Chains A and B, each alone.
Chain A
């Protein structure tokens, strides 16, 4: 336990706990709406913010937060409006953000890719007092939103169309999730790095899903797994000279594999107790089997292909 005597290690552990709590707390809503990789995209965009921070000699954490928030808002707007070419627009945003970061940091006086590496893959030992203050403030915001509005965010992430008919401010809540995810990315970037942030948002949630039946239990288990692996990874990287970000993510994946193996018999028992679950297909009135045409008996039912998605 001698690592607790070092100030840098105390800061590192505090940052690790905050990341372990906030990343899965936001990630659960992203997973729920099947946007598990959104955190990855925000991480790419945040690189431009880090580059800007170096170029303008301001705090990279705050600059990354600003740019990541703007990027996340742009992504959410692209998602809700531009259905057809949405993924291309997102790709432009992701890679533009990444290239912008590399370019800006090389333009910055005294900047080099070495500075960037600590943001890309995390660098716990360099977390400063100022960073810790920023991280605490940002983490408080994330916890407040993800816990305080959990019912509303659950409803919006579960069924957006239904949520709109309940009169909830769906657009505002969606933007709030995006902004909160962006803030989480910058909270986590010093610990696990921008390239691995998304893993900490998704993997603990995926692990929790193996055991949990309810949203509440998924949330609690995911936060426990997240906190556990960030703490364990940080301590491991103190004793063994290994990069903390990679250690944390590999530990999270190990927990996922372990819980999956444990849960398999449990799932089988539950499956026997209940009917098979419905599939994901949507918006069909009547599924038309491929063989229908051959039988020639479908005439006269009035169900033509329009509007039928099989």
Chain B
């Protein structure tokens, strides 16, 4: 498979003809080879950032992943799409070791997951509707915990505190930093979770449904934040229910159905009213609910 332009830091061509071409019927095909021959303009790294091969996983007795190949290269923005229950959340959670694989392999930055220790390179945004726990905590306290992948068991230094402040600023919550997260709206919770992932200044962002239950204003902030990260060379794997406002950022879409990859290529064309700019996708059966429904009701 072809990767996105290797010198992707600046001058990426989004959505243009150079975006990764579609691979028909990709799900059974091996996704390696050709990579070795692609020239690297900068930052030579022979290995893909994420390499999930022939991955199978079960939840209870139910097979959720039935042999998935998923490769994400440096600088790429890959969306994992599919209906509920198609296995997309399980797929990303297996990439970070939260779901054990029953077969196949995962490697991050060329290191087999079992031996991978460099977690500061990975920023993870789990699927949550709230950033709050059982005890009050401020935005800053929650975001600070994202920095632990660098400080580990040590004490935070000045640089760590500055990184936390930057992350809070990136998601536009600087004025709420000292507020309790339980006082925030659903979209602001999601921004806190993303700031927490950004606090470690990761090279790879893995996000599970970052747009779920997020109001329009926050969707805009999140899209901007993500665009800045991508412009700075970040690699992104995100689970989405639909492409929505992130569509222009996405290089490649991988669509899952019943635990198998059924599409790996350019993002599927949105049709009908879904294609209208700024369309906020609300499912018909949820249409009579207030807009910020989704997870929150």
CB distance from B253 to the nearest CB of A (A): 15
Instruction: Decide yes or no whether B17 CB sits under 8 A from chain A.
Output: no
Main SS of chain A's interface residues? Answer: loop
Tell me the smallest distance from the CB of B167 to a CB of chain A, in Å. 14
Q: Which residues in B have their C-beta under 8 angstroms from that of A301?
A: 83, 283-285
Chain B 11-34 interface mask (CB, 8 Å, partner A; 1/0): 000000000000000000000000
Question: Which residues from A are CB-within-8-Å of B85?
Answer: 304-308
> Are A154's CB and B184's CB within 8 A?
no
Asked if A274 is at the interface of the complex by the 8 Å CB criterion, the answer is yes
Q: How large is the interface on B (under 10, 10 to 19, 20 to 34, 35 or more residues)?
A: 35 or more
Minimum Cβ distance to chain B for residue A143 (Å): 17
Q: At the interface, yes or no: A276 with Cβ under 8 Å from chain B?
A: yes
Chain A residues with Cβ under 8 A from B153's Cβ? Answer: 149, 152, 168
Residues of A within 8 A of B278 (CB): none
> Does A297 sit at the interface, judged by CB under 8 A?
yes
Closest-CB distance, A10 to chain B (whole angstroms): 34
Are B285 and A167 within 8 A (Cβ)? no
Q: Which residues of the partner chain A approach B216 to less than 8 Å between Cβ atoms? A: none
Q: Are B134 and A166 in contact (CB under 8 A)?
A: no
Contact A163 B148 (CB under 8 A): yes
A215 touches B182 (CB 8 A): no
- Tell me which of A66-74, A180-188, A251-259, A278-286 binds B: A278-286
Contacting pair A277 B130 (CB below 8 A): yes
**Would you give the shortest CB distance from A291 to chain B, in whole angstroms?**
8
A155 touches B148 (CB 8 A): yes
* B134→A213 contact, CB < 8 A: no
B219 contacts A by Cβ under 8 Å:
no
Residue A13 at the chain B interface, CB threshold 8 Å = no
Is B294 touching A165 in the complex (CB atoms < 8 A)?
no
Q: A212-B136, A274-B179, A304-B84 are in contact. List 7 more A-B contacts (CB 8 A).
A: A28-B135, A155-B145, A157-B133, A166-B146, A168-B148, A214-B178, A215-B141
List 5 A-B pairs, Cβ < 8 Å.
A32-B134, A151-B151, A213-B136, A274-B185, A285-B294
